[in-house]
Amino acid sequence: MAYVDGYVLPVPKNKLPAYRRVAQRAAKVWRRHGATEYREAVGNDLNTNMGVPFPRRVKAKRGETVVFSWVLFKSRAHRDSVNRKVMKDPAMKAIMDSDLPFNVKRMAYGGFKVIVDR
C-alpha cells in the first residue's frame, strides 16, 4: 500500500520565490532516490469556517502563508529506504545547511498510510 510523508508549514509571503527554489532542489533529490511523487502547494483558499484553518493551526503570523507538501512512496519500507538515501545525499546536506526561507521548528510533519487511492 502507498505511503505519504506530509508537511504543513508557514512561509513568509516575501520568501515564497526562495522557498520554491529550495523545494525544486529537494524534489530532485527525493525523486532521484525513488520517491514516486513530490508536491508542494501554497495556500490559496485558507479562510474556512470548517475545522481549524491551516493558518491558525500552524500559528501563521502576519505576512505568512501556508505550504502543504507531500511525498509519495510505494510503501512504508520504500519510504524508509528512500529517506535514508535522501538524508545521506550531499545535495540535501547543502539544502539543509543553506539559509532556509522558513523556520523548520514550525513545520508539522508525519508519515501516513494511504487508505483510499482513487
- How confident is the model over 5-22, as pLDDT tens digits? 999 999 999 999 999 999
Distances (CA, A) of 104 to 76, 93, 116: 23, 14, 30
CA distance 24 to 97: 16
Q: What is the CATH number of domain 3-113?
A: 3.30.70.100
Confidence (pTM): 0.92
pLDDT in tens, 39-63: 999 999 998 888 999 999 999 999 9
DSSP code string of 56-112: HHTTPPTTEEEEEEEEEESSHHHHHHHHHHHHH-HHHHHHHHS--SS-GGG-EEEEE
